[in-house]
Amino acid sequence: MKRIILFLMVLLFSSTASSVTVEVYEFTDKQHESLYKKMITELRCLVCQNQNLADSNAELAVDLRAKTYKLVTEDKTEQEIINWMTEKYGDFVLYKPQLNSKTYLLWGGPFLLGFLSIIGLIIFVKKQKTTVEIEPEDLKKAQELLK
């Protein structure tokens, strides 16, 4: 039953169709404009299926864009807007997770992994048993094939 209800909710409140919603917001300050654009691409439309505020035409997204515009023109900083949003909707609203104990692995993982693999590689190459030479016969064959 719960599934069905949730499914209905999804049907009712998410926009699967694609339609551009275009609002015209005037900015007097170039920095406001770029912050606004940045924020609406980095904030998630909660009711949509994985869309940011900029790409969504769901009502909530329209409201939150308006709210973002208001906050930006009130000279709020990026962090203040993020705080405002997470206060209301939790971390789920951020497409760019903030660095904290929950996300150390997320942000550090790729670079740690890259670093460790390169170290591992160097050790592997250095430790290689020295020269098990290719048998001349194989080499000849290979050369023939490469022609």
Binders of other proteins in range 82-141 (CB under 8 A): 86-97, 102-103, 105-107, 109-111, 113-114, 117-118, 121-122, 125-126, 128-132, 134, 138
Q: How far is the CB of 52 from other proteins (least distance, A)?
A: 7
Q: How far is the CB of 39 from other proteins (least distance, A)?
A: 11
Chain length of the chain: 147
Q: Which residues contact 60 (CB under 8 A, 6 or more apart)?
A: 45, 46, 47
Q: Which residues contact 84 (CB under 8 A, 6 or more apart)?
A: 71, 76
What's at 104, amino acid-wise?
A: Y
Nearer to other proteins, 35 or 93 (CB): 93
Q: How far is the CB of 137 from other proteins (least distance, A)?
A: 12
Cα 105 off chain centre by: 15
At residue 144, what are phi and psi to the nearest 5 degrees?
Answer: -60, -40
Q: How far is the CB of 126 from other proteins (least distance, A)?
A: 8
Residue 22 is encoded by which pair of tokens?
């275009």
**Does 4 sit near other proteins (CB under 8 A)?**
no
User: How far is residue 14's CA from residue 141's CA, in Å, rounded to a whole number?
Assistant: 63
**Does 145 sit near other proteins (CB under 8 A)?**
yes
Site pattern 7..46 for other proteins (x: CB under 8 A)? -xxx-xx-xxxxxxxxxxx---------------xx-x-x
Q: Which residues contact 107 (CB under 8 A, 6 or more apart)?
A: 97, 99
**Does 73 sit near other proteins (CB under 8 A)?**
no
The one among 29, 31, 34, 50 contacting other proteins by CB under 8 A: 50
